[in-house]
């Protein structure tokens, strides 16, 4: 476990971003299933040349930290691993998003764009799975995915390509885009507004930017999180994020930020991911089962870097602490969930 001083520092910092419970009226469609077992399981839902060369070299190099692999190009800009374990989690999360949206890759009405959808950009593409699926669905569109890590597959649709790029740097694309997509970018950028400004400039008049993201901290539909290791993890994670320049509550501000940048007709939609199968309804149980797996798969990769760098915990202290956090994630008696936001807006014509 962490030392007393570490816990005190984390608790003090986390006051800036408290973990909250939400009244049922604020979470339509998300209700506790009183028939759910106290421990989670799947039975409720069924089976389921000089400096230039140096830069080029760094793009394909990695660094190891606490047993996990991270990108070396622009090292430290992205705080999660990029190894095979994390890649599997990102692909799992892609499935979670598409389940949430009933199989759709986007919520914004891009079919209504005048002139059609020809040039598409996916920011922070990760494994490239969204870009690949979008390119296959829209074969007449040219899809580019950008990321700090070149972890995308080589065999992709002919209308899909990938580039190593930092979205916080100036964009130099020669073409204007009809549609720009960004998903799960919560931990990616120190200055989100700058990235949305780049997107605004890169869109053609009438073009659309769509953001899909979950907001931290985890919330609770009732008081079931009080005194749990899961809630303590939340508090520590939020505190560590602020220390490392990441405000995980910013997702709720996406709409206001897009409007500030100049986007029109900005729409915000909310969805919910329960942690586990405690919520009522088959779809919510399915989403909960998948999100639980997403959380369990990503817990160690996120925690060990954030907690060792920011909270000065040792890797051993982190691992011991995570034992009880994992237990909490598997318990249906803890009614935790993550709000998921979809925000999209249009560049004026």
Output the CA–CA distances (angstroms, integers) from residue 82 to 90, 111, 234, 327, in the order listed.
10, 33, 22, 25
Structure confidence at residue 12 (pLDDT): 41
Are the CB atoms for 86 and 298 separated by under 8 Å? yes
User: Residue 194 and residue 209: Cα distance in Å, rounded?
Assistant: 14
Tens-level pLDDT at each residue, the chain (349 residues): 443 343 444 444 444 444 556 655 577 778 887 777 665 555 444 544 443 343 345 555 556 655 655 645 444 555 566 677 788 888 999 999 999 999 999 999 999 999 999 999 999 998 999 999 999 999 999 999 998 877 788 889 999 999 988 899 999 999 999 999 999 998 888 899 999 999 999 999 999 999 999 999 999 999 999 999 999 999 999 999 999 888 999 999 999 999 999 999 999 999 999 999 999 999 999 999 999 999 999 999 889 888 998 999 999 999 999 999 999 999 999 999 999 999 999 999 9
Instruction: Tell me if residue 59 falls in helix, strand or coil.
Output: helix
User: Residue 171 and residue 193: Cα distance in Å, rounded?
Assistant: 14
CA dihedral 98, 103, 106, 111 (to 10 degrees): 170
pTM for this one?
Answer: 0.82
User: Residue 302 and residue 80: Cα distance in Å, rounded?
Assistant: 6
Are the CB atoms for 165 and 188 separated by under 8 Å? no
Output the CA–CA distances (angstroms, integers) from residue 144 to 5, 24, 147, 178, 179, in the order listed.
47, 41, 10, 12, 11
* Residue linked to tokens 């950008």: 146
Are the CB atoms for 142 and 156 separated by under 8 Å? no
User: Residue 246 and residue 223: Cα distance in Å, rounded?
Assistant: 27
Are the CB atoms for 178 and 114 separated by under 8 Å? no
Structure confidence at residue 234 (pLDDT): 96
The structural domain count of the chain equals 1
103: domain CATH number is: 3.40.50.150
> Residue 173 is part of which domain span?
4-346
Are the CB atoms for 289 and 230 separated by under 8 Å? no
- For the chain, the maximum distance between any two Cα atoms, rounded to a whole number of angstroms, is 65
């Amino acid at each position: 476990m962490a030392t007393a001083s570490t816990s005190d520092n984390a608790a003090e910092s986390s006051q800036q971003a408290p973990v909250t419970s939400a009244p049922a009226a604020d979470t339509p469609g998300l209700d506790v299933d009183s028939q759910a077992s106290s421990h989670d399981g799947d039975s409720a839902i069924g089976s389921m040349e000089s400096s230039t060369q140096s830069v080029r070299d760094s793009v394909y190099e990695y660094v190891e930290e606490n047993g996990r692999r991270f990108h070396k190009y622009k090292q430290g800009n992205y705080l999660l691993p990029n190894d095979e374990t994390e890649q599997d989690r990102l692909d799992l999360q892609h499935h979670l998003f598409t389940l949430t949206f009933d199989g759709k890759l986007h919520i914004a009405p891009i079919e209504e764009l005048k002139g059609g959808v020809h040039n598409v950009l996916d920011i922070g593409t990760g494994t490239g799975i969204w870009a690949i699926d979008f390119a296959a669905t829209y074969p007449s569109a040219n899809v580019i995915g950008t990321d700090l890590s070149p972890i995308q597959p080589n065999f992709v649709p002919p209308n899909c390509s990938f580039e190593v790029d930092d979205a916080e740097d100036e964009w130099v694309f020669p073409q204007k885009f009809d549609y720009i997509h960004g998903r799960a970018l919560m931990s990616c950028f120190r200055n989100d507004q700058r990235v949305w400004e780049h997107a605004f400039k890169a869109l053609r008049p009438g073009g659309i930017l769509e953001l899909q993201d979950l907001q931290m901290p985890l919330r609770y539909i009732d008081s079931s999180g009080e005194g749990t290791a899961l809630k303590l993890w939340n508090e520590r994670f939020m505190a560590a994020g602020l220390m490392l320049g990441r405000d995980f509550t910013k997702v709720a501000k996406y709409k206001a930020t897009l409007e500030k940048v100049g986007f029109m007709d900005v729409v915000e939609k909310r969805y919910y991911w329960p942690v586990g199968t405690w919520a009522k309804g088959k779809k919510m149980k399915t989403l909960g089962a998948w999100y639980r797996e997403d959380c369990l798969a990503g817990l160690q990769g996120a925690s060990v870097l954030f907690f060792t760098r920011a909270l000065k915990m040792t890797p051993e202290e982190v691992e011991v602490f995570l034992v009880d956090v994992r237990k909490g994630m598997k318990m249906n008696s803890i009614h935790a969930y993550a709000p998921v936001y979809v925000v999209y807006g249009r560049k004026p014509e």
